[in-house]
Amino acid sequence: MTAAPRRLPGRLLAPAPGWTTMADVVIVGSGIAGLTAALRLRGQVGKVLVVTKDVLNAGSTQWAQGGIAAALGPGDTPEEHEWDTLVAGAGACDADAVRVLVTEGPEAVRELIALGTNFDHDPDGALSLTREGGHHRDRIAHAGGDATGAEIQRALIAAVQAAPDIEVIEHALAVDLMLGSGPDGVERVVGVTLHVMGEGQRDGIGAVHARAVVLASGGLGQVFTQTTNPSVATGDGLAVALRAGATLRDLEFVQFHPTVMYLGPDSRGQQPLISEAVRGEGAFLVDGPPEEGGSRFMQGVHELADLAPRDVVAKAIMKRMLETGAAHMWLDARHLGAEFWERRFPTILATARSHGIDPVTELIPVAPACHYASGGVRTDLDGRTGVPGLYATGEVACSGVHGANRLASNSLLEGLVFSRRIAAVLPGELAPWTPLRTDRRPSGLIDAEVRRELQEAMTARVGVLRSAPGLTEAALLLDKLAGCVAATPDQESWETTNLVTVAAALADAAAGREETRGSHWREDHPERDDLRWGGHFDVTMTDGVIAAAFVPAPPTDTLPPGALPPGAVPADTIPAEPDGAA
Ligand code: SIN
């Protein structure tokens, strides 16, 4: 007898809308991707409405520390940035999307500067650029030392607030996308239902009728117990897109940041990030205090040692933790000195001190924690999803630039570049106003009480290190949780339903990929296997049942025979050592 398939809500159980409004384009999310889309679309499409789950700066952009990567420094080229991105992505990138990212990136960053973002500069006035894992050049622009995201968010919010034609609704959870039949008879997105915790006319559930919706709602970090993501990152955009018929791609590639401050085994939710830029400025990992015999362990693991791509460092930390039985490793940045710490990393310094660790005199305890969803709603090069009228950009999207492991500081850039591209095509694609059709998707709701159990199972079984038995246990638990229905719709149960939905898609893709690639680490399949697993897992939902299908694609990180990576110097052009040189 075959077990009945796991059935998830095909839409969220919610009261009928108590209010309605209209906007030509609704943008869901207010980080770099959402606000860039709004600023670029205004003036082109009638009314632009930004809806955001909390206040404008509550999303992940605000928390970005390291910076934004682009080939802006002397000697750097988009080709070198492209190669570093493809290598970090472990063969699973979309080569065309990466080319778009690196070639349009420099201009997009210059535009951000023109908008009023104050990036840091060297004493000679040049843009200050640093290095992070996987980069072979200094190419990370930063602001306020380690407060890059906060400065970008500030500049974007100021620009949006100065634009009277952009309307904003805060405290608005996107509950579901509304569907209708377009003039061609094809199903399309015709708006979004919201739950607004507001006052007056727009309070509770409402319907926003629209001609297009742009999802820019960020990631899914809250699927796990410890994450660098803020509490709003509950995968809502991914879940609403899946329920509306969009495809999710590469969800198994969840990036665990190697150096998240370890606050103890019971710490939950958002944890303090210790930016990779700290290693970029010379900090290194040790398996114990050097004074007590601890040593560095990244040398010999990778040519870039402590600045290897993020997946390599996270795995090396986990391996050392397993070997030594320690709950964390340490970051030694004491030699950077008080003056440097205060100037270059003021936010991290203050946060570490607030948790009782002074990085100027003490080692910082660190362990990997969930940081970034490299996959998301599958889009083409212009942010179109497979559902007419629905676009996606930023972390919620899978444009193909990150592959199996995002290169450090490419995420802010992705939001910037692909939102510009959406704004270039969307106005020409706007459909006439289309009526909503009766929604036949099976509605439902999962009990908010299961959130903690979900997070713990996902962390233990579908976290940094995965294997078939653990993934099977996770699948069984997800079957059980899908049946834990709630009767009373509220924000907690909507979010929990989204978390379970996204976790199920992620776990199914992770179970399918029987190899180790990038941030997907299978204990039982420790090697990368291009022959069987070169390609992507695409997840779709029909009548509440999700299915993961494998789509083969050739690896994108292999050079033709004899070719050198960009920036490499051919051996025969390296001058020979003079006779007698040591
Ligand atoms: C960091 O500062 O280490 C995070 C940067 C990123 O996630 O790209």
Q: Which of 261, 395, 409 to mutate to test the pocket of ligand 1 (most atoms within 8 A of CB)?
A: 409
Predicted pLDDT at 2 = 67
Torsion sign over Cα 137, 139, 140, 142? positive
389-406 confidence digits (pLDDT tens): 999 999 999 999 999 999
**What is the C-alpha separation between 181 and 115, in angstroms, rounded?**
39
Domains contained in the chain, CATH given: 11-66+147-253+374-429 (3.50.50.60), 254-371 (3.90.700.10), 445-526 (1.20.58.100)
Q: Which of 273, 366, 370 to mutate to test the pocket of ligand 1 (most atoms within 8 A of CB)?
A: 273
Q: What is the mean pLDDT of residues 70-97?
A: 97
3-state secondary structure 130-171: ECCCCCCCCCEECCCCCCHHHHHHHHHHHHHHCCCCEEEECC
HSE toward the beta carbon, residue 377, CA cutoff 13 A: 32
**Alpha carbon of 410 to ligand 1 centroid (Å):** 9
290-297 long-range contacts, CB within 8 A, separation 24+: 290/332, 294/330, 297/329
What atom in ligand 1 is closest to the CA of residue 146? 2
**What is the C-alpha separation between 380 and 249, in angstroms, rounded?**
12
Q: Any idea which residue has 């020409």 for tokens?
A: 428
Predicted pLDDT at 314 = 94
**What is the C-alpha separation between 211 and 389, in angstroms, rounded?**
7
CA distances from 12 to 107, 453, 497 (A): 41, 21, 8
Residue 354 pLDDT class (50, 70, 90 cuts): very high
User: β-pairing, 443-444 with 226-227?
Assistant: unpaired
Q: Any idea which residue has 């629209």 for tokens?
A: 210
152-170 confidence digits (pLDDT tens): 999 999 999 999 999 999 9
Q: Decide which of 418 and 1 is more confident.
A: 418
Beta bridge partners of 462: none
At a CB cut-off of 8 Å and minimum separation 6, what does 333 contact? 278, 281, 282, 283, 341, 359, 364
What atom in ligand 1 is closest to the CA of residue 409? 8
What SS3 state is found at 269?
A: strand
- Given a cut of 60, whether residue 44 has pLDDT beyond it is yes
196-252 confidence digits (pLDDT tens): 997 777 889 999 999 999 999 999 999 999 999 999 999 999 999 999 999 999 999
In the residue annotation, 139 being an active-site residue is answered as no
Which residues have C-beta atoms less than 6 Å from ligand 1? 65-66, 275-277, 372, 408-409, 411
Identity at 248, one-letter amino acid code = L
191-200 confidence digits (pLDDT tens): 999 999 977 7
Secondary structure letter of residue 283 according to DSSP: -
Residue 234 contacts residue 395 (beta carbons within 8 Å): no
**Alpha carbon of 392 to ligand 1 centroid (Å):** 22
Residue whose Cα lies nearest atom 1 of ligand 1: it is 275
Residue 498 contacts residue 237 (beta carbons within 8 Å): no
Residues in the chain: 582
The percentage of residues in the chain with a pLDDT greater than 90, rounded to a whole number, is: 92
At a CB cut-off of 8 Å and minimum separation 6, what does 29 contact? 50, 52, 59, 215, 216, 217, 218, 237, 394, 396
**Alpha carbon of 72 to ligand 1 centroid (Å):** 18
Lowest mean pLDDT among 26-30, 314-318, 475-479: 314-318
Q: Which of 32, 60, 65 to mutate to test the pocket of ligand 1 (most atoms within 8 A of CB)?
A: 65
Predicted pLDDT at 375 = 98
Residue 575 pLDDT class (50, 70, 90 cuts): low
250-292 confidence digits (pLDDT tens): 999 999 999 999 999 999 999 999 999 999 999 999 999 999 9
Q: Write down the pTM of the prediction.
A: 0.95
Residue whose Cα lies nearest atom 8 of ligand 1: it is 409
Predicted pLDDT at 182 = 81
Lowest mean pLDDT among 165-174, 410-419, 490-499, 560-569: 560-569
- Given a cut of 60, whether residue 579 has pLDDT beyond it is no
**Alpha carbon of 221 to ligand 1 centroid (Å):** 14
**Alpha carbon of 34 to ligand 1 centroid (Å):** 19
**Alpha carbon of 478 to ligand 1 centroid (Å):** 31
Alpha helices in 245-336 (DSSP H): 276-280, 310-324
Mean pLDDT of the chain: 95
The percentage of residues in the chain with a pLDDT greater than 70, rounded to a whole number, is: 97
Q: Identify the active-site residue in 154, 211, 249, 310.
A: 310
Q: What is the mean pLDDT of residues 133-155?
A: 96
What atom in ligand 1 is closest to the CA of residue 410? 8
What atom in ligand 1 is closest to the CA of residue 407? 8
505-558 confidence digits (pLDDT tens): 999 999 999 999 999 999 999 999 999 999 999 999 999 999 999 999 999 999
